[in-house]
Amino acid sequence: MPGLDGEKMSKSRNNCIFLFESEKEIKRKIMSAFSGGQASIEEHRRLGGNPHVDMAFLYLKSYFLTKKESEDVSERYSSGAMLSGEMKNMLFEKVIERINKLKEAYEKVDELYKNAEMGNVRLYFSIWNLGETVGVFDKHRKTTDPKLSTQLLLSESMKLLVAGSLSILDVSSDIITHSIDLVLKHHIYIADALQIATARKIQTGRFATADKLLSEIAEKEGFKVIKLKG
C-alpha cells in the first residue's frame, strides 16, 4: 500500500497515519491526500473523478468497505455525484472509528499490565508469544523501528518478571502434545492451539486474547475469555 500522497509509505515522508496522533492531525493528513478529483467542484460534477488514483478511495476500498460498497462509491465518484471532500470525509470517519476501537483494546491491555504491576493479577504467556510479537514488529519495519519496539517489549516484560507478576512458559513437550490434540479437534493453527494449551497447563480459567477465532475456541474449551479487542 502506498502512503497517503501516493508515494512509498515512510516515516520520514510522514505519509501514514499513526495510532496516537490527534484527530486534527489525522484530518489534515487525509484532507491533503492525493486525490483523483477535478480542480473545481463544477468540473468534478461535469467530468467526474478518477477513483483509481484517489488515495482516499484506495484506502477505503482496501481497509474499510465491502466489495459492493466499493463499487457503489467508485461509481458515484466517477459520475461526479460524489466529491473529493466527501470521499476524504468518509475515510476520516472510518479511520477515527477504527482508531477508537484500537485505543479501547490498547487500554484494556494497558489496564491488564497495570493490574499486574500492582500485583492484583498474575500474567502468564508462552515464550512463543514473545517471538511472534517481534515478528510482527519486524513486518512493520517500514513505519516503526522493530529493534526499539523489541527493547521496550523486553524491558516491560522484565519489569513484570522481576516483580513476580508475570511468568513466561517454555514450549515443552506436554504443551505441544495438548496443542496437537487441539489442532486436530478445532482445525486451528499450532501457534493458536499453543496459547490454549499453555493456559490449560497453568490451570487458569481465564484467557485473554484479541483474536476472534481464538476467543471462540477458548470459550468452547471452557475458558472465561477476556476480549482485548475494542
Quote the least distance from Cβ 73 to its own copies, whole Å: 30
Q: Is 114 in the site for its own copies (CB under 8 A)?
A: no
Q: Which of 1, 53, 81, 127 binds its own copies (CB under 8 A)?
A: 127
- In 3D space, the residue among 133, 211, 139, 128 whose CA is nearest the CA of residue 175 turns out to be 128
> Could you give the CA distance from residue 227 to residue 109 in angstroms, rounded to a whole number?
10
Q: Is 184 in the site for its own copies (CB under 8 A)?
A: yes
Place of cell 514450549: 171
* Dihedral sign of CA atoms 141, 127, 110, 162 in order: negative
Helix (H) or strand (E) holding 209: strand 206-209
- Copy the grid coordinates of residue 150: 523489541
Quote the least distance from Cβ 137 to its own copies, whole Å: 8
Q: How many residues does the chain have?
A: 230
Contact 119, 92 (CB under 8 A): no
Q: Is 156 in the site for its own copies (CB under 8 A)?
A: no
Quote the least distance from Cβ 8 to its own copies, whole Å: 17
Quote the least distance from Cβ 170 to its own copies, whole Å: 5
DSSP 8-state code for residue 60? I
Q: Is 152 in the site for its own copies (CB under 8 A)?
A: no
Q: Which of 100, 131, 202, 224 binds its own copies (CB under 8 A)?
A: 131
Quote the least distance from Cβ 183 to its own copies, whole Å: 5
**Residues in contact with its own copies by the rule CB under 8 A:** 127-128, 130-132, 134-135, 138, 141, 146-147, 150, 168, 170-173, 176, 179-180, 183-184, 187, 189-191, 193-194
